[in-house]
Amino acid sequence: MSSEPSIADHAMSELLKIRGSIDNIDAALIYMLAERFKCTKRVGVLKANNDLPAADPAREKRQIDRLRELARDAELDPVFAETFLNFIIKEVIQNHLALRD
Amino acid sequence: MSSEPSIADHAMSELLKIRGSIDNIDAALIYMLAERFKCTKRVGVLKANNDLPAADPAREKRQIDRLRELARDAELDPVFAETFLNFIIKEVIQNHLALRD
């Protein structure tokens, strides 16, 4: 029985280190998302009180173009960035509509 | 014609301010996501090189439980936090499988 760490041990140790970083990033993402929803909740109240439409396609188009550009700079797949923003916006619009129920 | 800003003007000015914050948060989210995918890409290579399975249901369960807890602390809907993590993990597993093609 060797005292040298095996390749499998080394891989597992690497895996655990990277998972620690992923967990830190996930916590940051959750707190940023929470702050984003606080902002969009304020937007939702403003829109409901001023009879502005819940969705704003022109604003969404500008957001998507900008995030695709930022994604390219960050070496993130721009298609994924767009899917991600659409996923968030869908949730936001549902929340905006719920404010009018 | 009044020189006082109307309620609609005030609402629009508020809306633009909040949108500025949303745009800053979105940039932060994109850069954090880019960093997260750099980490999961390293995990994918490790897994492919060591014949470890692409998905890890026990790890995913722990991640979901933790993020739901963080979401509660951040006043974010825990159901949304879970949907968000599942959305990311789905993309990650597709990327892991692509490394084996």
In a domain? residue A28: yes
The pLDDT assigned to A6 comes to 80
- Cα separation of A62 and A57, whole Å? 9
In a domain? residue B51: yes
Q: Which of B25, B39, B71 sits opposite A18 (nearest CB)?
A: B39
Q: Examine the pLDDT at B9 and tell me if it is beyond 90.
A: no
Question: Mean pLDDT for each 10-residue chunk of chain A (101 residues)?
Answer: 73 94 97 96 92 87 95 95 91 83 65
In a domain? residue A2: no
Contact B36 A25 (CB under 8 A): yes
The pLDDT assigned to B15 comes to 94
pLDDT mean over B15-28 = 97
Where does the pLDDT of residue B3 fall: very low under 50, low under 70, confident under 90, or very high at 90 and above?
A: low
Q: Which of B18, B37, B40 sits opposite A39 (nearest CB)?
A: B18
Q: Which of A30, A31, A50 sits opposite B11 (nearest CB)?
A: A50
Distance from CA of A98 to the nearest CA of B (A): 14
The pLDDT assigned to B2 comes to 54
The pLDDT assigned to B39 comes to 96
The pLDDT assigned to A101 comes to 65
Q: Examine the pLDDT at B1 and tell me if it is beyond 70.
A: no
Domain count, chain A: 1
| ipTM confidence | 0.89
CB B34 within 8 A of CB A74: yes
Contact B74 A49 (CB under 8 A): no
Q: Which of A46, A52, A74 sits opposite B30 (nearest CB)?
A: A74
Q: What's the CATH code of the domain at B48? A: 1.20.59.10
Tokens of A99: 């404010």
Chain B residue numbers with beta carbons less than 8 Å from the beta carbon of A48 are: none
Mean pLDDT of chain B: 90
pLDDT mean over B49-60 = 88
Tokens of A37: 């929803």
- Cα separation of B39 and A22, whole Å? 7
In a domain? residue A1: no
Where does the pLDDT of residue B63 fall: very low under 50, low under 70, confident under 90, or very high at 90 and above?
A: very high
Give the global pTM: 0.88
Chain A residue numbers with beta carbons less than 8 Å from the beta carbon of B42 are: 14, 18
Domain that holds residue B21: 7-98
The pLDDT assigned to B98 comes to 83
Which of B49, B34, B5 is CA-nearest to residue A7? B49
Nearest-5° Cα angle at A38, B20 to B34: 65
Give me the DSSP letters along A64-96.
Answer: HHHHHHHHHHTT--HHHHHHHHHHHHHHHHHHH
Chain A residue numbers with beta carbons less than 8 Å from the beta carbon of B87 are: 84, 87
The pLDDT assigned to A25 comes to 98
